[in-house]
Amino acid sequence: MASKSPKLSFSPEVEAALAARRPVVALESTVIAHGLPRPHNLQLARKMEAIVRQNGAVPATIAILKGQIKIGLTDDELAYLANADGVWKVSRRDFPTIVIHKADGATTVAGTMIAAAWAGIKVFATGGIGGVHRGGHADVSADLPELSRTSVAVVCAGAKAILDLPATLEWLETVGVPVIGYGTNEFPAFYTRASGLRLEASAGSAVEVAAMINAKWAMGLEGGVLITVPIPEEAALPADSINQAIEQALAAAEWQGIRGKAVTPFLLAKVVEITGGSSLRANIALLENNARVAAEIARNL
């Protein structure tokens, strides 16, 4: 079947940037609607957009509002999304349902990749990708197969630390997704800079990353590229304490019978509670840093 794009609604800023072939960075909206508590979610959304602009690119926060697939949000739309209730969490399978029902949806990593590809945006900044959940490998995030099929470069701080990182990295290797360490030879562990998991590829600059991405796609190798950026040193958390908090959160999720899409938001919120807010501060710091790196890569792509 031929690839088709649905009707997209572009903000004037993003539409003008794409027409002029200026660098654009896609930003997800699940972190706004489901990932961070209010009012931190709106503050972070505005800050990430500002960082992208300060570093020479145009931000395109992606979401679905009243059934319209939005490529770039106005400030009023950001505020609406940050304060709305009943917002769907949108991955590949959910687009038709949300659009037909004219509902509001926040795009996950997978959902944002799809919409970015429809719009012709090649670089996307997020916090951490989804992956293989701990305690059995049947629960795999839709982010992983999306990375294998959709040609967008994703800048992140690795996979979320609540996941099984070795299994996630193995999954990415199996489906042929290049994982590039930005200034590191190790897979970052979200809240901490190191995981002990060595990477095959690393790059020391945005220029080098852009060359690697271009080389992949020039060879006709479709699918995403994962650029993993360690959390800034001053914001990183001690590995022992964060791992202990994650174990407590996992036990709470099991005890309460949390399943499916609810698992990740529950675990992240629980870890914030257990760490007294330090994990939230770390999450915000890595998101801001990833926005900066993504803008630099987009400028060089």
The answer to whether residue 122 is catalytic is no
Is 116 within 8 Å of 32 (Cβ atoms)?
Answer: no
- Cα separation, 64 vs 118, in Å, equals 14
Torsion of CA 106, 112, 117, 121, to 10 degrees: 100
Instruction: Indicate the SS3 state at residue 197.
Output: coil
- Cα separation, 1 vs 280, in Å, equals 43
Q: Where are the alpha helices (DSSP H) in the chain?
A: 12-19, 30, 40-54, 75-83, 95-100, 109-119, 143-149, 165-174, 206-218, 239-256, 263-274, 278-300
The answer to whether residue 270 is catalytic is no
- Read off the amino acid at residue 107: T
Between the two ends of the chain, the Cα-to-Cα distance in Å is 29
Q: Which of 89, 160, 216, 270 is catalytic?
A: 160
Q: Which of 28, 146, 288, 296 is catalytic?
A: 28
| Tokens standing for residue 21 | 């072939």
Residues belonging to the active site:
28, 160
